[in-house]
A and B are shown apart, each in its own frame.
Chain A
Amino acid sequence: MIAPHIPILRQGQVYKSLDTQTVNKLGSDEPAAEISFACADMIKYDIQNMGSAREALKKFSGEELVEITKKAGELFLNGDLPIGTEGELQSPEDYVFSLAATSGLPHSLIRFNMRRLGGLFGQIDDIFKGLSRGLEWSVLDRGYGEQGGAPVSFSPTTNELAVILPSNSPAVNALWIPAIAMKVPVLLKPGREEPWTPWRIIQAFIKAGCPPEAFSLYPTQHDGSGAIIRRAGRVMLFGDDSTVKQYENDERVEVHGTGYSKFVIGEDEIENWESYIDSMVESVSANSGRSCICTSTIVVPKYGDEIAHALSKKLCEIKPLPQDDPEAKLSGFANPKFAEWIDEAVEEGLQSDGARDITADYRDGARFVERDGMNYLQPTIVRVDSFDEDLALREFLFPFASVVECPQSDVVEKTGYSLVMTAVTKDVEWINELFDHPEIERLNIGNVPTNRISWNQPHEGNLFDFLYTRRSFAFAESA
């Protein structure tokens, strides 16, 4: 397939910009796509007019939009969908190849994420019920109704949900898909190397009968992203701790930051640690370790060395393989510099006497390796002596975790924020203490890998609460 032109979508209308960039296939000069770039002022103009996009969605009932969403999921997984501006079609396999060519993700991981995303469309009813705590769709149609016997009314907080998408993780598109059934148009800024997934989802929705006005897609530069963040009514973005801090008092902006997810084993279960190694391996390495729900710190009361060695042995089986190898689980880096920077940061932490790279004893070659013109970071387990070590609470974009010994009684105090915590224990008192801890967003009790989440329970922000606000209301009897 020739390199398609990915245009700007302005409320579904195709717009070919004079400002274009070519994205090449990684490790080659062969173009994978030509992308139209939007200027910041154009985006500002369009945001002002998003009310008409919402009007287009409001013409559909919630039930109709649910059906459209479910159908869109099937089309996303199996359909031949438009790509580019010349009437070309993209098959599911074309999508896999295109995304692999620009993102460095192995085909197997793309297919895994594709299934995960496809499944989400089908669960839209459950997701909405989970997020809204059991609301009927009809309440959004009318604006008011009943929930659990109490009168309720909800009004939208915005005419658009803007999402600044990253280049390294197609699965994050899951965050905005339910907004359509909730009658809120989306305004997406794709990552430079990953226009493929948002584009395909949009096309699936449109083919399933959704009004095109509900979708705006703006590939843009830094100033365009800034315009979106400052102007859109609701914004989701991804960033590090400093980004989280920057927007902590801005109710319009939800930052998905570092997860600092943890796998902890209680004193009552530590003698069985060998039974949990597979769960820990999955938690660290799922999605090539690139999700905020991947474990980055493992906390145990004892056997830290033994666990670090056992994990290292297993994780070192994950090696850089050709992208189309069905066994490939490790992603290359679209931006080769990222791999170098991350490797340097890990090495800096290892300068301390209290931090040791246990995987170095088991893996082939160095952590940083090149293959087929791409840079990879091989899985790494670091045994640290305490939480004071730089690497104890760090998260990187590859399978990386520290193993630290800590008395169970100190876990809550020492671990701080966790997007996901898996606690393997049956100690009721400790479980109650963990449930009482406000800095754990999602808590798994028992042997559940941290990467396994359920869409009907928000683990980081609640989309319904983000997009709707409850009001009180009354009708006069004569009304």
Chain B
Amino acid sequence: MTVDEAKAQLDERVREMMSWHFSEETGCPFWLDWKSETGWDPREEVKSYDDIVKFPHFQDEWLRDEKNERFVPNAYKGRPFNVFETGGTTGLPKQRVGWDDYKHDYEQFSEQLSEEFFPKGGNWIMVGPTGPRRLRLAVEHLANVRGGSCYHVDLDPRWVKRLIKRKELDQVERYQAHVMTQAVEIIKHRDISCIFTTPRLLASIGERISISDHGIKGCFCGGTSMTPEYVRFLQEEVLESRAQFVPTYGNTLMGLAVSIPSELPEKGYSVTYYAPQPRAVLRIVDADNTEVTKEYGEYGRVELTTLSHEFFMPRFLERDEAIRRKPHEKYAWDGVGDVRPFGALTKKVIEGVY
């Protein structure tokens, strides 16, 4: 696919989604009411991705303050939905409803994985936040799609964040050790080829056992930002350059942006992620004037637009910043590189806690 073809595909997707989400037959109460209140019809005015700036930024508070039923498209009426949570250290967490999106996202992701490092039929283990998170079902679905089963070890990040806020770092270490003990036992005593976990937990498992010696060939990782040095450490030392490290960037609201693991060493371990376009689009914007897209090579705030039949979310400003990177021959659209917490250089952010 060329860059022009990718752009045409995205524009077509935008038109299709405007038609879907702003028609009485298929749209959800939230967006239909929004259309009435604002007095303009996106079906008429948003004809391409460039027009998406006509929408204001999606506010994630809406996912907490509005009832979930208001986000159910009329086309899905009567179908029970999954509820996936995001964030929520205190109070009511933000929730997103869904049906099959996670399956589509992870089936698409599965096609990107190497058979050498993520063998078909191999079992998986997921070590990280499970509970009400989309990842819990998504990773299991990924394992199943590839012909394997999935073991789970839970970690509650909300509790870890609370401990860190209270400066109870010993408790953090003890809790992490508790999680690690469970993970290591499963890895030692079950046939497992692939792992999903967060970078910190991966390093922590590697402190206790040789991950490669226990049969793990591929590691799909996500959850927090990583410096190139940290990526190098995970690939070369934790995985001993024997298992493949596959960094991803994603969340409940987007799906999964993928990287190109085979190119990491030659790129100095600087990770570039490509959104699952046209289902979701990542744009690097000027933090002070978010209609403006930054130039290639420049840092800016990450803006996410989700364009699925189940969920429409225009111009959500992530709590991250990244470098705008050029399209790749594998992915003919912009990438986002060296993601880090927004304002990382100017303020202290509790991030990468697990």
Contact = CB atoms under 8 A, between A and B. Distances in A.
A44 interface: yes
B206 A18 contact: no
A33 B169 CA distance: 33
Interface in A16-61: 17-19, 37, 39, 41-42, 44-45, 48
A39 B230 contact: yes
Contact of B233 (A39, A226, A230): A39
Given A39-B233, A41-B200, A230-B169, A19 B227 contact: yes
A423 B227 CA distance: 55
A48 B237 CA distance: 14
A39 B227 CA distance: 9
B207 A45 contact: yes
B173 interface: yes
12 contacts: A18-B268, A19-B227, A19-B229, A39-B233, A41-B203, A41-B230, A41-B238, A42-B237, A44-B203, A45-B206, A45-B237, A230-B173
Given A39-B233, A230-B169, A230-B173, A19 B228 contact: yes
B331 to A, nearest CB: 24
Given A18-B269, A42-B237, A230-B173, A37 B207 contact: no
Contacts of A17: 229
Interface of B: 169-170, 173, 200, 203-204, 206-207, 227-230, 232-233, 237-238, 268-269
Contacts of A230: 169-170, 173
B342 to A, nearest CB: 19
A17 B204 CA distance: 20
Nearest to A223: B352
Q: Find the residue from B200, B203, B229, B269 having the highest chain A CB count within 10 A.
A: B229
A45 B237 CA distance: 9
Interface string A348-369: 0000000000000000000000
Name the 7 nearest CB pairs between A and B, nearest first: A19-B229, A41-B203, A18-B229, A18-B228, A39-B230, A17-B229, A42-B233
B193 to A, nearest CB: 24
A34 to B, nearest CB: 14
Nearest to A229: B169
B233 A41 contact: yes
A261 B169 CA distance: 33
B169 A226 contact: yes
Interface of A: 17-19, 37, 39, 41-42, 44-45, 48, 226, 230
Contacts of A44: 203, 207
A236 to B, nearest CB: 19
A48 B229 CA distance: 20
A226 B238 CA distance: 20
Given A18-B268, A45-B207, A48-B207, A37 B229 contact: yes
B53 to A, nearest CB: 36
A472 to B, nearest CB: 32
A17 B231 CA distance: 11
A39 B229 contact: yes
A18 B232 contact: yes
B227 to A, nearest CB: 5
Nearest to B173: A230
A19 B226 CA distance: 11
Contacts of A42: 233, 237
Contacts of B170: 230
Given A41-B204, A41-B207, 13 more contacts: A17-B229, A18-B232, A18-B268, A19-B228, A37-B229, A39-B229, A39-B230, A39-B233, A41-B200, A41-B233, A41-B238, A45-B206, A230-B170
A132 B227 CA distance: 46
A18 B169 contact: no
Contacts of A19: 227-230
Contact of B227 (A18, A45, A48, A226): A18
A230 B169 CA distance: 9
A42 B203 CA distance: 9
Contacts of A37: 229
A37 B227 CA distance: 11
A41 B206 CA distance: 10
Nearest to B270: A18
Contacts of B232: 18
A37 B228 CA distance: 12
Contacts of A226: 169
Nearest to B269: A18
A390 to B, nearest CB: 27
Contacts of B230: 19, 39, 41
Nearest to A17: B229
A16 to B, nearest CB: 10
